[in-house]
């Protein structure tokens, strides 16, 4: 699904009203109904709800939600924060529609003094509907005071569409002073760019996109470089194995990985590769790694390097469809020369990770010679070594986009919402994965999965998207069965078959 800006969302809103022949007040009612249902499904009826409403359409959503919740016999109180003189037209209609019972208990915050006197009781559910996508400057004044009150109250906070105070199209680099810290954000239709930046994790720890039925064609028409990967998009990329195939059909992978003390990285990447569809895998590594592999993964073929501690040379590359370079290789000068020679000699599909990236960072001129659509998988520190520091995550994202375009490569910038930056400047944010992956070896596993998919025949963009999604999806399957604390990357690899199976089940080509 696309990620659109506040301005674009306004346009889609207007086009939906025009094309669906629906009035804006009825669209607001639709939004409110969906949000009220979601709130009712999350919280039991005995939890009191306090709805903070602003003066714009976000406030209008809040006023309608309050009415609908009270119709469900929920204990509801409405607080209107008068940060402007007049309600928007639709908010005014919903204000007038408030039932008498809600009007009787309504609190209006008109001044700093009113705001200072607010008291939010323990164990309430606060619905934050003060500001949405219409925010046009940092929040000050009575809104700021109310926001501080909400943030310091021991209550649960659900923000409608946007945590009030947050600018959705870019990141500030630091937490905005006045911004609601939500427990859950019900994001209308689409995610917002700002939700995907780590610096906003306290403001948006969780968001859910609620489908409010905006016009699909209008959504398609809005140009955007940003996408959010959804399960059905990725499942549709999967290709079944051919009944009349043989191992040669699915290609031969070469993994250049491991050095003294880091054999595990090679073993992890190798196993993940073979569990992601490659027909054949050869691992070229040190003797110690080769010994470990022969024991752990008899399916892999091996070549032992002349050097005992690191890899230095690999003869013929012509029979490989894809090469993975980097997990645990170290940075010895001979290993650096090996990467140089791979870049010079190999014209197939290439993925470079870990120390491979650090070697590139020390030899930036080699970047110009990467085979087209080479996949690079840096974590933030590795990316900083490659492209320099960034002030904010938004800046880092723009740097990553420019990098992918300049070197015609696919840059997978690993993070909670991993950014997959394509050479054409587009970015897909991955939606899967959890903190159980925040452990050594997770990146090696990702490299192995993508290497397997490249070898299997997926074009690099598809391999990057599918591999990143499945890596996180498999970790999410593990997290359903075990604590994130205890997940080992070998657990993730063992669940890969189930993850593929689940994703295949929603792809029509696997069902026929």
Ligand X SMILES: NC(=O)C1=CN([C@@H]2O[C@H](COP(=O)(O)OP(=O)(O)OC[C@H]3O[C@@H](n4cnc5c(N)ncnc54)[C@H](O)[C@@H]3O)[C@@H](O)[C@H]2O)[C@@H](O)CC1
Ligand Y SMILES: Nc1ncnc2c1ncn2[C@@H]1O[C@H](COP(=O)(O)OP(=O)(O)O)[C@@H](O)[C@H]1O
Where would I find the H helices in 43-140? 57-71, 89-96, 100-105, 112-117
For the window 161-180, what string marks contact with K ion as x by the rule CB under 5 A?
A: ---x----------------
Q: Which two tokens stand for residue 152?
A: 């310091």
3-state secondary structure at position 46 = coil
# residues near K ion by CB under 5 A: 5
Q: Shortest gap between Cβ of 215 and ligand X (angstroms)? A: 10
Interface pick for ligand X out of 4, 27, 386, 479 (rule CB under 6 A): 27
Consult the annotation and say whether 2 binds a ligand.
no
Does 134 count as an annotated binding residue?
A: yes
Tell me which residue has tokens 């080769």: 290
Contacts to ligand Y from residues 457-486, by CB under 6 A = 471-472
If residue 392 lies in a helix (H) or strand (E), which one and from where to where? none
479 binds, among ligand X, K ion, ligand Y, none (CB under 5 to 8 A by kind): none
Note the helical H segments in 223-332.
Answer: 231-235, 263-274, 287-296
Strand, coil or helix: 263: helix
Question: For residues 49-78, which are near ligand X according to CB under 6 A?
Answer: 54-61
Q: Count of residues binding ligand X (CB under 6 A)?
A: 30
Q: How far is the CB of 469 from K ion (least distance, A)?
A: 30
Residue 508, both tokens: 């029509």
**56 or 328: CB nearest ligand Y:** 328
Token pair for residue 10? 């306004």
Please choose which of ligand X, K ion, ligand Y, none residue 29 contacts, taking the beta carbon within 5 to 8 angstroms, the exact cut-off set by kind: none
3 state SS of 441: coil
Q: At what angle do helices 263-274 and 442-456 cross, to 10 degrees?
A: 40
Token pair 């491979």: residue: 356
**Distance from chain centroid for Cα 403:** 20
Is residue 137 marked as binding?
A: yes
CB atoms within 10 A of CB 42: 15
Residues 338-367 that bind ligand Y (CB under 6 A): 354
Dihedral sign, Cα of residue 166, residue 169, residue 171, residue 172:
negative
What number of other Cβ atoms are within 10 A of residue 107's Cβ? 14
Among 437, 449, 464, 465, the residue binding ligand Y under the rule CB under 6 A is: 437
387 binding ligand Y? (CB under 6 A): no
Residue 363 marked as a ligand binder: no
Query: Which single residue brings its beta carbon nearest to ligand Y?
Result: 443
Can you say which residues are annotated as belonging to the binding site for K(+)? 58, 128, 164
Residues found near ligand X in the complex (CB under 6 A): 9, 13, 27-28, 31, 54-61, 83-84, 88, 131-137, 139, 143, 160-162, 188, 214
Residues found near ligand Y in the complex (CB under 6 A): 354, 379, 414-416, 418, 433-435, 437-438, 440-444, 446, 471-472
């Amino acid at each position: 699904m696309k990620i659109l800006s506040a301005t674009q969302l306004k346009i889609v809103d207007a086009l939906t009203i025009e094309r669906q022949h629906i009035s804006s007040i009825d669209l607001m009612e639709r939004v409110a109904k969906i949000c009220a249902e979601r709130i009712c499904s999350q919280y039991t009826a005995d939890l009191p709800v306090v709805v903070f409403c602003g003066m714009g359409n976000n406030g209008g959503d809040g006023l309608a939600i309050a009415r609908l919740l009270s119709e469900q016999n929920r204990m509801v109180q409405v607080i209107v924060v008068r940060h402007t003189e007049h309600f928007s037209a639709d908010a005014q209609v919903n204000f007038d529609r408030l039932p008498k019972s809600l009007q009787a208990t309504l609190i209006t915050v008109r001044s700093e003094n009113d705001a200072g006197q607010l008291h939010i009781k323990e164990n309430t559910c606060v619905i934050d509907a003060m500001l949405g996508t219409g925010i046009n400057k940092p929040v000050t004044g009575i809104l700021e005071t109310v926001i501080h009150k909400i943030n310091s109250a021991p209550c649960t906070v659900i923000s409608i569409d946007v945590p009030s105070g947050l600018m959705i199209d870019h990141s500030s680099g630091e937490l905005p002073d006045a911004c609601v810290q939500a427990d859950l954000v019900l994001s209308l239709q689409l995610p917002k760019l700002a939700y995907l930046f780590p610096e906003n994790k306290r403001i948006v720890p969780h968001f859910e996109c609620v489908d409010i039925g905006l016009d699909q064609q209008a959504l398609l028409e809005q140009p955007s470089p940003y996408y959010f990967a959804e399960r059905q998009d990725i499942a549709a990329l999967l290709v079944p194995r051919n009944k009349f195939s043989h191992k040669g059909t699915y290609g031969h992978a070469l993994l250049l990985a491991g050095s003294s003390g880091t054999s595990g990285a090679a073993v992890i990447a190798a196993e993940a590769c073979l569990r992601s569809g490659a027909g054949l895998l050869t691992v070229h590594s040190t003797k110690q790694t080769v010994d470990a592999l022969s024991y752990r993964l008899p399916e892999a073929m091996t070549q032992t390097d002349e050097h005992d501690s690191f890899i230095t040379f690999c003869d013929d590359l012509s029979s490989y469809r894809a090469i993975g370079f980097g997990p645990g290789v170290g940075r010895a000068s001979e290993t650096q020369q090996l990467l140089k020679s791979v870049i010079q000699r190999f014209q197939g599909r290439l993925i470079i990770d870990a120390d491979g990236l650090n070697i590139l960072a020390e030899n930036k001129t080699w970047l110009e010679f990467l085979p087209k659509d080479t996949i690079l998988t840096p974590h933030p520190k590795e990316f900083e070594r490659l492209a320099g520091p960034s002030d904010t995550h938004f800046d880092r994202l723009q740097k990553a986009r420019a990098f992918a375009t300049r070197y015609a490569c696919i840059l997978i910038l690993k993070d909670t919402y991993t950014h997959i930056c394509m050479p054409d400047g587009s970015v897909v944010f991955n939606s899967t994965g959890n903190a159980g992956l925040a452990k050594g070896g997770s990146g090696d596993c990702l490299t192995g999965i993508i290497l397997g998919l490249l070898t299997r025949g997926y074009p690099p963009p598809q391999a990057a998207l599918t591999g990143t999604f499945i890596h996180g999806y498999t970790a999410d399957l593990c997290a359903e069965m075990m604590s994130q604390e205890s997940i080992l990357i070998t657990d993730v690899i063992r669940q890969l078959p189930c993850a593929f199976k689940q994703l295949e089940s929603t792809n029509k080509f696997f069902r026929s």
